[in-house]
Structure 1
């Protein structure tokens, strides 16, 4: 029998490898594309593709895994497939080739996160583990990768970005191969839901949850795709950019480690309302100033705009969704708020960015304020 400590380490290792990849890819992939001659609007479109493909890929693969009642083989397949197709970037040139390669990579890759989340929540419950602490390994890895690689790029060529991403994908495949098996649900007398996705999308409460968390996650569209480029064009060095990303993730780590129980004990809409209000302030300030002291402070709100909203979403799914639909629920959260929502925001943000970088951030502030208004209404309506 796999021990509690072994399970904790294996799950944590997967978040570590996944977020090493994201810590390099998210802040710096746009810089690599720009160095290859891709325009800001084209970068926004390319980076939007994974988010948009999540709409179809994550639910399809996760529902397949729910029906099999096993998650390890599907997640292993997604990792290997994404890694193999990523190799084509070394040979690609120009917008259309990079677009095609991005599509191929993301025919399966977007399913990794919801499947990993499903496995982790299942194993955390089975072994009485703290999800937030496991997830904090991912956040720590993100900050380490973004800061250290930012320093590395200060003295080295942007062509090294693709090699760093490639090596991180190899590590991800290795750690996924070591994930604990035994993720099959216990058999019960209750039949499995024939179409979990249809059932979830028929639930008004679940749809409102997706709407509000979607607005909050959409507000990160410009930051994730063009944030580093925006700061670079304002004269910041890559090392300072890495530190700014790192501050946000440090705040996120502390929130994951110390505030998980607080989030799970609060109504989800009250958390979303708080996040929306402070998120609107965050993005408006980022668009207004390049003062490092102010940016260092405002970046700590990432603990809420991402950390609190994500923990609240995971808590909602674990409490309100039955076990036989857990993978599908995670996939819809990944596909719609983190896929369709972020994809649209990323593309629209890229178009607005070509008019004004500040304008694109003001648009993200509006999304957060909309989430604040809707969540506040839903919270008080239930009181």
Structure 2
């Protein structure tokens, strides 16, 4: 029997899932650097690991659709990801580390798309309530980022394996506490094929914009902690910078549902992507100044939180209910998998152990600018995207 009712349980699931990422994402670059990897090796490892997210979500979505057991898919993914993470405890060189992280990442992809789908279906697509439940994930992230900065200063980069494992185990426990949420299902009046929808020009432009934006995030996700260290900031200061970004994200997620109501998702996406251009330019030019760096972190509210909420709204509106699982998987695989992998590999080549940091962030700004222009080309009216009507 589930120990919690649906809404608190879903909030706790987001909290623990993103709590794990709060340890893993910001400090993985420092961990790999501590293991003796060059920036090119780090970029290659992150690219290959991230590439597993291209196929992973689609495979798990197919399993979830065939079995109608999204909760079981999430639970299995969390257990297997935890087992894959155990490889990080052994320092056996680049290739064993790569294999272990690739397994971890592949199984990890089973969780979030099904969690997003389950939450939005349970809430009947109420984006206001969704945004507030999703806020719990940002809280988990900020708590673990702050803790990670303190642990790094105290124990060095090898704090990562055990710390992440403890919260992975907490995530597994949380997912087994979730009640079984019955997904709303409807029989479509008109047969709409997934293969037809993915050729839609509106969807293609939306995906291209999101892909470019995700590529622009790669140097921040992969190398910001190293960048901050090279600029002379301490581990606690780095954790605080990231915490500022997540605090802004929390506020933005809380109000995202109200902000998006009766507003054009295209215009909001364009603004959010444009803010991201400014954010990367500030990191390239003014990151040595504590106040400008802190201000750039506040822009995370738009460049991630509002942008992500708009993207989730688009997916839910564009795909009919019986195709939303595959729509979520497509978005997660192409954007976070493909965009993240390409961006990570390119960033690793350009970074040059810190010598190419400014150039890398300048190019990230160019990618974000291209994403902005594509977003602004999308239809102004949300109704054009509903269930692929834009075709």
Q: TM-score range by the shorter chain?
A: over 0.9
Match of 1:257 in 2: 254
Q: Is 2:135 the counterpart of 1:136?
A: yes
Say whether residues 1:28 and 2:33 are aligned partners: no
What's the offset of the Cα at 1:217? 2.2
Distance 1:54 1:184 in 2: 24
TM-score by length of 1: 0.93
Aligned to 1:14: 13
> For residues 148 and 44 of structure 1, what CA distance do their matches in structure 2 show?
25
Tell me the equivalent position of 1:365: 365
Give 3-state SS (helix, strand or coil) of 1:130's partner.
Answer: helix
Is the 1:124–1:130 Cα contact (8 Å) retained in structure 2?
A: yes
Q: Which residue of 2 aligns with 1:330?
A: 328
In the superposition, relative to structure 1, how do residues 264 and 337 fare at CA in structure 2: closer, same or farther (>3 Å)? farther
Give the drift of 1:320.
Answer: 2.1
- Rounded to whole Å, the distance in 1 between the matches of 2:219 and 2:179 is 36
Count of aligned pairs between the two proteins: 380
Q: What's the offset of the Cα at 1:264?
A: 4.0
Deviation per residue, 1:199-243 (Å, 9 max, x gap): 442232222211112222222111001110111111110000001
1:298 aligns with 2:296: yes
Q: Unaligned stretches of 5+ in structure 1?
A: none
1:280 to 267, 277, 287: 277
Contact 1:264–1:315 (CA under 8 A) maintained in structure 2:
no
Q: For residues 151 and 182 of structure 1, do their structure 2 counterparts lie closer, same or farther at Cα, with a shift above 3 Å needed? A: closer
User: Any conservation in 1 of the 2:208–2:374 contact (CA below 8 Å)?
Assistant: no
Equivalent residue number for residue 43 of structure 2: 44
Q: Does 1:169 align with 2:174?
A: no
Q: 1:337 to 1:179 in 2, by over 3 A?
A: same
In the aligned structure 1, how far is the partner of 2:272 from the partner of 2:380?
16
CA positional deviation for 1:109: 1.6
Corresponding residue SS for 2:109: helix
Q: Do 1:26 and 1:225's aligned partners in 2 also have CA atoms closer than 8 Å?
A: yes
Q: Deviations over 1:56-115 (max 9, x none)?
A: 110121133123333111111111111112112212421111111122223322221111
TM-score between both structures, scaled by the size of structure 2: 0.91
Contact 1:51 1:339 in 2 (8 A): yes
- 1:269 aligns with 266
CA distance, structure 2, for counterparts of residue 105 and residue 377 of structure 1: 37
User: What value does the CA root-mean-square deviation take over the aligned residues?
Assistant: 2.4
Contact 2:125 2:316 (8 Å CA) reproduced: no
1:329 CA displacement: 0.8
Q: Secondary structure at the match of 2:182?
A: coil
Distance change in 2, residues 1:129/1:285 (3 Å): closer
What displacement does 1:2 show?
8.5
The question of whether the paired residues in 1 share the 8 Å contact of 2:122 and 2:184 is answered with no
Say whether the 8 Å CA contact 2:6–2:181 is kept in structure 1.
no
The farther-off stretch of 150-159 and 126-135 is 126-135
Q: Does 1:145 align with 2:162?
A: no
